[in-house]
Structure formats: C-alpha cells, structure tokens
Amino acid sequence: MGKRKLIQVAIVIGGLVLCFLAFQLGSNLLFNSSERSPAAIPKIYDYSHLAGEALLEAAQDRLINGVKVISAGGASGIQLGHFVVKNDQGLSVSACELFSRVELVFFAGGMAVSGDSPKMIVIGPCTPGENINVIAPIMIPSAKILDAPVRDQEFSDFSDNAVTVKLENVSDTWPRVWILQSARLVGAHSEEIKVEDKDIRRVLGKAPYIDWQ
C-alpha cells in the first residue's frame, strides 16, 4: 500500500474516531441535562397547573413528604421534597429554579431558658439533590458548633459559605436534639412557600428531629 493511501486511511480513521467521541460527549451532555431538568421530576410532583391555595397545599405536602434526616461526618441536615412549578413567564421550572433559598427553623427538645426554647435558624441555597426528586439537605456542621463557646451566635465560616446557622436563646450547654418547627422556600422576588409545625404534624403525625448525640 502506497504512502498516500496510508495517509488517506489514517485520515478516515481519525475522522471516525472524532465523530464517535463527539457523539459520546453530546449524549452525555444530553443525558445529564435531561436528568436535571423539570421533565426528570415525575408528573405526580408537577404542580405547574396549580395556583393559589391548591398550589400551596400541594407544595407543602410535597416538601414535608420528602423530609429525611441525613447525618454524615460530624454534620447533619434535613432534605425536603422537590417539585415543579410555573414561573412568572408561564414556564415549568423546578422549585429550586424559582426559589433560591431554604430557611429551616428548629427548637430544642426538652430545654427552655426563661420559658423560651433555644432556637436554631439554618439558611442555605435551594439545590436539587443527586436525586432530583428531593432538595439537597443543608448540612449543619454540628461537631464544629459543639466545640464552640455556648452562647447566642451566628456561624457562617463553614466550608460552604452559602450556609448560615443562627443559634438563639441558648443557656449553659448546647442542645443535642433539634426539632424541625418550620421550613420555607424563598425566591429572589419575595416569593415563598412555608410549612409550619401544624402542617408538618398534619402530614407526618410528628415533627422530625436532628440528634447531635
């Protein structure tokens, strides 16, 4: 086979390899995009056709039904259920595309200072979990908090700078059990969906809690 022929064959093979790699890259990008899109959330959690009280109740129930306590590596958090809503342009989007922030409020179980229970307010970004059907938990670095002086204070110097933890009405020891009192999704333009203690107990029968023991 002549030198020119070998060069032509090499060019053809190289072209085929490049086409294959481009196809694989495109397929992976399309797969990843579709996995993170609102369409990847099951229709049963698509509330884009709802409005007003119907939307609020469906969203509250979904947030609560998706609750799960997550603990790992000296940190703990609570995940929430994810869902699809309609934005102000009338497009179907995932909840975390419309609501940028999650706010959780906990109170300490079995403790009170001057009649008021210690309170913990956790604020962080609304981010879909690895499973897009849930909102990723905001992990609270409990080990770092327990090592800190016991007093009312705000922690925001964690590895995730988007997370803030405020502790109020604490006494001489850090509470170990924190009971979820409310959860709120907040948007950039003051949109919000909030679930309170009565909503949580209505759906789950009891409030979930984090144990720092």
Residue 126 and residue 96: Cα distance in Å, rounded?
5
What's the pTM value of the predicted model, to 2 decimals? 0.79
Compute φ and ψ for 140, nearest 5 degrees.
-100, 115
Contacts of 73 (CB under 8 A, 6+ apart): none
CA distances from 74 to 28, 48, 68, 199 (A): 34, 38, 17, 29
- At position 95, the amino acid (one-letter code) is A
pLDDT tens, per residue, the chain with 213 residues:
565 554 554 554 555 444 444 444 443 433 344 445 566 788 889 999 999 999 999 999 999 999 999 998 889 999 999 999 999 899 999 999 999 999 999 999 876 656 789 999 999 999 999 999 999 999 999 999 999 999 999 998 666 668 999 999 998 999 999 999 999 999 988 789 999 999 999 999 999 999 998
